[in-house]
A and B are shown apart, each in its own frame.
Chain A
Amino acid sequence: MTQERHKHDPIEAALRAGHYSEASPAETPTTGDLAAWIEAPDESATHVEALLARDADLRSVAVDLRLHGFTDGPTVGPDLRGRVHALMPAPPPVLARIGAWAAAAAAAILLAIGGWHLGSGDADVRSLGTDTVAAAAFGVQDGSDEYSALLLGAQGTVQ
């Protein structure tokens, strides 16, 4: 009779079915948390134990590792090893790396020089022309002697 009662016990039936009410989201353990628990089960790691209580597959992994430990696999062929090695690409040869950096640096310097030349040349022409018009029309000019000389020269040229 005792066994019959337990056989039809709805609580035990729910436990066997893993029928749990919805629980509030718990802190999700990291791989490191799980690995640490597998090496030394810790009752205070409630987030790990709560996850294991819910996840039958993960629990199976943890229990299997706890009870039976690790087993090494068969020898692995060169093809599979090569596939896995190739996931981390090898760096280019040293000279090639230096050459690439040198080329990049030279290009940057050339661009800087070219940009400076273009910028400084345009500025002189633009400002001279603009200020010549300003000087002729409004008598406005920069106070520096050199600048005035340029302006007078331009005005003469304009005429």
Chain B
Amino acid sequence: MEFDQEACIRGDAEAWTAFCDETIRLVVASIRRVCPSGRTPHGEDMDDLVQAVYIKLLKNDRRLLRNYDPARSAVSTWITLIARSVAIDALRRRSLDARPIDDAAGAVAGPPRTAPTGPAIPTHLLTARQQLVLSMLFEDEMDVADVAAALGVSPQTIRSTKHKAMERLRAHFQASDAGDDPTRPDVEPEDRT
């Protein structure tokens, strides 16, 4: 999938038409992946979202078009990412709207999330890769094999990354809890006989 980037930036209508025809089915599929019903909760339909994707490409003097670098990614990856981001933004806009008083049928975001209690994970202790692996394993509840496939590494690498990250976190919380609860066992389960 290729397109005449320079011509589109110049405003060549024919090049733009060709680009749209080349990418529109992928855009539709990408949006449908995020909004399977083809409609956002507050009324935007598929056509509106598709149009929003291409408007975004032309906004700010065609900034996204200008900044696309074919050496870094394929057009399909780039346009899919933009399309899904537009769809996610559309869904998020709804979640930020004030909920109607009578929301028996209109509630779409569920009950408001309460602030989590307990310790906050100190991000400065972990590398970005460690944070990502832990997010995928714990928050997304993904299998080690799937995490490995997504990151392009071996499952053993994922286990090792997780182990090191958890060691850092446990050491941090044990140090910060020292003296607060002397009866709390601090041996790892696998160390018990």
Contacts and interface: CB of A to CB of B under 8 A. Distances in A.
Interface residues of B, number: 74
B118 interface: yes
Chain A contact patch, size range? 35 or more
Contacts of B34: 61
A17 B116 contact: yes
Given A81-B21, A85-B16, A11 B170 contact: yes
Interface string B117-145: 01111111001110110111111111000
A60 B47 CA distance: 23
A46 B88 contact: no
Contacts of A91: 11, 13
Give the secondary structure class of B's interface: helix
Contacts of A36: 72-73
Contacts, number: 202
B127 A46 contact: yes
24 contacts: A15-B134, A19-B118, A20-B120, A31-B82, A35-B73, A35-B77, A49-B129, A50-B131, A52-B132, A53-B128, A53-B132, A53-B134, A53-B135, A61-B81, A61-B84, A66-B150, A67-B146, A70-B80, A72-B26, A72-B29, A74-B29, A76-B28, A85-B13, A88-B58
